[in-house]
Homo-oligomer: A and B are copies of this chain.
């Protein structure tokens, strides 16, 4: 059932039917009722492909996953982030179009998406410090919103980010308030902008109480359980081990807990841990009393905001790019305690 067929059955022109369904004013109320009734009866839906060609919009928002090599980690927050994105874009009739590319072919992929007209806008994730994709997107001229920010980029662009610096400042200060003076950091890859910001928040908190940040108790790397375990195990075996740790994800924290237990210590008593909690649905830290003391901000919610923002930008003629800074919430769990 297509427009022509439907309109001929109704004895109307395609124009009128299209307008009736599109909600345009220049159609008689009675006719509109007839049309909508018939459309429902015949289960007519405008063909997306034709609609896309006629309107010049694809009703797709794009997200490209780029891998350095085939085995590279899928981002653990990916699922929840996509969930949030999809949730809101679906509500506006957009669907999310995923493509995958190797990192060298990333630029070509973005240009392709643009010249093919495959997407109306793009969501960028995990910016590195001074990420070149932002300039690229400006050059290409496709609406985009960044999940996170890239330091050192002056040109305005739309983003949604968590106040990572502040979150880690608070996490660290929380441990300091409990009497901890030697606090280790287990961070994500610090070429990522969020990780760099977290580190600076951590250092700021230390300096505020005249503690000298110590490079030997800072680690950065992929945020796997393994790495959390390795980093903490290694730091605990030092001569002057930390009594507290600030770690960049729940997964790392789980590894940290394992290392602490293996060292014959008790987390929350002998060693404290504060985690960054993305509020991932498959790694809940939302018990009545959370297992981990954490600074929490929902990545799913960020996805929702980003989708809304991007769609607004697509439909807007020309406004200054939106930006939104989310604050992480501190939740106190059982993984922290006063220094012994």
Contacts and interface: CB of A to CB of B under 8 A. Distances in A.
A58 B65 contact: no
Interface stretch (A40-48, A123-131, A195-203, A269-277): A40-48
A116 B45 contact: yes
Interface of A: 1, 43-50, 52-53, 56, 58, 60, 65, 70-76, 78-80, 82-83, 86-87, 90, 95-101, 111-112, 115-118, 223-226, 251, 254, 257-258, 261, 280-284, 287, 300
Nearest to A250: B225
A225 B251 contact: no
A95 to B, nearest CB: 5
Contacts of A80: 74
B87 A46 contact: no
A112 B90 CA distance: 13
Contact of A118 (B43, B95, B254): B95
Contacts of A258: 257
A98 B98 contact: yes
A116 B48 contact: yes
B99 A284 contact: no
B74 A112 contact: no
Contact of A98 (B48, B86, B100, B223): B86
Contacts of A56: 49
Nearest to A111: B43
A209 to B, nearest CB: 33
Contact of A224 (B118, B224, B283): B283
A44 B115 CA distance: 7
Contacts of A115: 1, 43-45
Contacts of A99: 86, 90, 95-96
